[in-house]
Structure formats: C-alpha cells, structure tokens
C-alpha cells in the first residue's frame, strides 16, 4: 500500500535453498519376517533456527516474499519442504511464504531470467556461483 491505496505491486522475492536452513537425514531400517525381508526408509529434518530467524527478520524488515526450494536429485520432496514449514509454524515463526521442488539446478537456473521480482537465490557458500548474478550467501544479506 502506498498512501492508503491498494497496490498491485509484486513484493521483491528471494529463493532460499532448503540446505541453507535444514539438513535431511534418511535412515533405513530392515525388518524380517519368516519369509520376507522388508526395508523401509524414514526421513527426518534438522532445522537451523539461527538461519531461520535471520531470514524472518530480513523478510519482515524489507517486505520480502521468501520461497523455500529444494532439488529432487538431492533427495528433497515437496512433503519434506512442507514438513519444514509446518514445524517452523508450530515451534517458532515461519519466514517462508511457499515451497517449491525443482528437478535439478538446471531447471531453477533456466527460470531465473523470467522472474521479474526475484532479487536473489540464497544457497550454500560453495554453490552460489551456479546462479550467476542472482547468487547470494545468507551471511551477505
């Protein structure tokens, strides 16, 4: 809103890769019955609350829309991202507006030029160069 009028302006957006704020742990367990051997995989997520708090402060201060993103080829599924957002909602505060899973890095990079309100992609320090001028480390925000 500007001067009390409703605006159609799109808020600036950043994409945060889930690896920045969470770690996916997959545990395999094997159970045996008389005839069959059954393997099951259980995934759990550890969340870095310090990084989440920093993102919440930035989003609130600058009016940013923050997308939580992950890659299928790194083992992330939309259910995992939604679990992270739900856990944050219940325990602390959730800075993320929505979540999206991309097939791989190339898919996300190919979409970057078409996102007019995108200000940056936050990823791990060794991987920000993948995104060209959009790549940002969280410590630089």
76 band by pLDDT with thresholds 50, 70 and 90: confident
Helix (H) or strand (E) holding 115: none
For residue 10, the 8-state DSSP code is: P
Give burial (CB, 10 Å; 0-12/13-18/19+) of 114.
Answer: exposed
Please answer whether residues 41 and 28 qualify as being in contact, where contact means their C-beta atoms are separated by less than 8 angstroms.
yes
pLDDT single digits (tens) 5-38: 666 778 899 999 998 988 867 666 666 666 666 6
Q: What is the pLDDT of residues 60-69, one digit of tens each?
A: 999 899 999 9
Strand bridging mode 65-71 / 13-17:
parallel
In contact, 112 and 104? CB cutoff 8 Å: no
Fold (CATH) for 13-140: Rossmann fold (3.40.50)
């Amino acid at each position: 809103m500007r001067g009390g009028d409703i605006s159609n302006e799109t808020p600036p957006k950043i994409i945060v890769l889930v690896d920045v704020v969470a770690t996916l742990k997959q545990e395999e367990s094997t159970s045996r019955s008389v005839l069959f051997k059954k393997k099951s995989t259980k995934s759990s997520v550890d969340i870095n609350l310090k990084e989440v708090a920093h993102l919440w402060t930035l989003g609130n201060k600058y009016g940013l829309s923050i997308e939580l993103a992950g890659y299928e080829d790194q083992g992330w599924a939309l259910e995992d991202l939604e679990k992270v957002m739900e856990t944050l909602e219940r325990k602390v505060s959730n800075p993320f507006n929505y979540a999206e899973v991309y097939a791989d890095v190339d898919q996300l990079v190919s979409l970057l030029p078409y996102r007019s309100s995108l200000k940056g992609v936050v990823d791990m320090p060794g991987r920000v160069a993948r995104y060209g001028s959009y790549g940002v480390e969280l410590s630089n925000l």
